Chains A and B, each alone.
Chain A
């Protein structure tokens, strides 16, 4: 069977994010990851774009690594080792701005 990349939902999703990603859509992606990984999939008003994630210990080092991996796959970017750091990962707003800067 011929490979039809645009029949693959993941490829479409990646393409969508590649062209359309704004800080808001990146923030929504980060948020959905955090809701799934920290809050067992349950929506919460506790998590805002400015909730500290690392300094508050909400997100431990393993979840931070999973998040970085998730962002790399979704937005076709790569974090350098020194960029996996609280300075770039402490809030949804900071993460979104950082991811967008990597995509330019």
Chain B
């Protein structure tokens, strides 16, 4: 029986040692036996330096075969790994590293904020040549969990969601039992590793004996490169956000390619507007499409396979479906979806006060309150109706508007700020910042965007900036968001 995440790789390596486990964009690849050896080299390197159960190891590097070996090596020595967004600006990377307070950091030199004091390690050639290891000696507290994924926090600071081994195994085993994957399947690695979709890519692939295909940097955001990569690498199983698929559909010239390999298309992270989804189903008639739903705190907790043939006249987005069979769902009196069971996070890293708000007891069980409103349709499927709070789901990322507002309010020329969701012509969300400037003239758009880019990751930079003389306020003097949302901006 598999009891660790790395265990899947070692099990597959016993059965199919010469099967390719990972292919990278540069044409490099590694077999399952090669990957276990590379992971073992990391485990040995880390163990020799006192890293083990209870330790936290942060990862700050672009995707590579070496990085996958490193995270498996960390998992194998019992430590917790924390992937840090390599595209985050240096200030945010520092903020995250302060919050993680890691025992060790595995990184590529160009991403490392050089002002952080640490002990750089000399390593043998057995571990990857482009990755470095640094230790942070001291009396850090310990953490017993498999990995931590950071998401946006409402008060301006991101928060880490702890994912235990049993959380991750619960999800992976559900995916293996629910869908048919096999050796020979080629899984795309579209999502970055700090994003929960990557848990599926990496571990479901390795557990099935498939091959994980890594894209080159910048492929995913370049729709043309993405379409070419997806077709030419003969991917059979892909898991993306609707925005990535929609951009490929509109701008990637997908009709240039033959698409006979794709078998399963999974999407999650935001609502997929029906029209582009149907066009994609026409483009890939041989593929099964599945809508997976769930916050990082529960990973996937409900799912819905889109029926074929689809109904042309449908305008409403498809439901998020039924709760996964190993989990329990409860809909509160307010219509909020609560989830209990194996997948549910033990809580936020170092944020006991957040845990108190995020969980509730019902019928003697501890439920995670998703903050999402749902209703049940005539067929017993859940439909997503929106948020209980102001959180925005964009390109699969959760964005707390408060975090963006805090950043904008620190700009010297901005007196007041509100961030709301709007939709583009296809129905996808975008961020609109409504600002009041403090001087006589409004700051330049490019000044505001550069400011945001210095402090926030790219997906949190508002696409639209609008200026008002004053923000509408309610009777208690707070920003009146419903009124702001109703305004034609």
Contact = CB atoms under 8 A, between A and B. Distances in A.
Contacts of B463: 60, 62-63
A81 B224 contact: yes
Interface in A22-46: 38-40, 44, 46
A61 B449 contact: no
Contact of B446 (A51, A60, A79, A84): A51
Interface in B438-489: 444-446, 449-450, 452-453, 458, 461, 463-464, 466
Contacts of A103: none
Contacts of A79: 224
B172 interface: no
B223 A65 contact: yes
Contacts of B461: 57, 60
Interface residues of A, number: 24
Contact of B222 (A52, A61, A63): A61
A58 interface: yes
A66 B224 CA distance: 12
Contacts of B250: 65, 69
Interface string B221-262: 111110010000000000000010001001100000000000
A93 interface: no
A40 B463 CA distance: 11
Contact of B464 (A40, A46, A61, A80): A40
Contact of A81 (B225, B243, B247, B466): B225
Contacts of A44: 445
B445 A38 contact: yes
Given A79-B224, A81-B224, A66 B251 contact: yes
Contacts of A81: 222, 224-225, 228
A68 B251 contact: yes
A44 B442 CA distance: 12
Contacts of A40: 464, 466
Contacts of B228: 81
Contacts of B452: 57
Interface of B: 221-225, 228, 243, 247, 250-251, 424, 444-446, 449-450, 452-453, 458, 461, 463-464, 466
6 tightest A-B CB contacts, nearest first: A81-B224, A81-B225, A57-B453, A61-B221, A65-B251, A57-B449
